[in-house]
Amino acid sequence: MEVLRVEHLSKLYGSGETVVKALDDISFSVKKGEFVAIVGPSGSGKSTLLHLLGGVDRPTSGKVLVENTDVYQQNETQLAIFRRRQIGLIYQFYNLIPVLNVEENITLPLLLDGHKVDENQLHTIVKILGLTDRLSHLPNQLSGGQQQRVSIGRALIHNPTIMLADEPTGNLDSKNSNEIIELLKMFNKTYSQTLIVITHDERIALQADKIIEIEDGRITRNELIRA
């Protein structure tokens, strides 16, 4: 089943003489449960693409369809709800809220939506992430690997349709990088959690089902490496 379809997506920044074409007519699709790696040189448009998939920015032209919803046909209110419920975002520098503890950071998306925390679900996620004895710690009391595990928890708490990660291991040593990728793969395989990861690390890209390479805002490779 297809969960994501991108059609002729383009994004220009600026205007007139200073216009930058960050994405130029990108099209591809992703199936439920797929693990897709997005690779390519710095400045090629990878982060722009991820933001457009996540409803964070608006395209100049083209469409993003998530479970057949045309993401950018929605108004701002609908888009905000889409981002919270359907997208789980993971960043290189975690983006945790420093004054909230681990449990509060993970459950924040639910509370923002007026939903009760499902204690069973919370404890299952926290246990898998190895954070059970860290729930009342603040982010600055945690290692980088632990902070990234908290951000994975926050991304998963809403059972998102798609998990998007922008260089999730870019700030971690190889041991912690491996742990983070193993966790993301575990949720991908065990729960069929669709996963799209931007990475510079070839060893990570080679673990994906599909590699999409972007150069100068265009797809130069879209290869299924695992069925």
- Toward ligand ADP, which CB reaches closer, 43 or 186? 43
Q: Facing residues of 87 across strands?
A: 162
Q: Two tokens at 107?
A: 């459950």
Q: Two tokens at 176?
A: 């912690």
- Toward ligand ADP, which CB reaches closer, 47 or 199? 47
Smallest separation (angstroms) from ligand ADP to the CB of 158: 25
For 11, 45, 218, the CA distances from 215, given in Å and listed in that order, are 14, 8, 5
Smallest separation (angstroms) from ligand ADP to the CB of 166: 8
Smallest separation (angstroms) from ligand ADP to the CB of 219: 13
Q: 């260089």: which residue's tokens? A: 167
Residues contributing to the site for ligand ADP (CB under 6 A): 13-14, 20, 22, 40, 42-48, 141-143, 145-146, 176
Smallest separation (angstroms) from ligand ADP to the CB of 84: 23
Smallest separation (angstroms) from ligand ADP to the CB of 44: 4
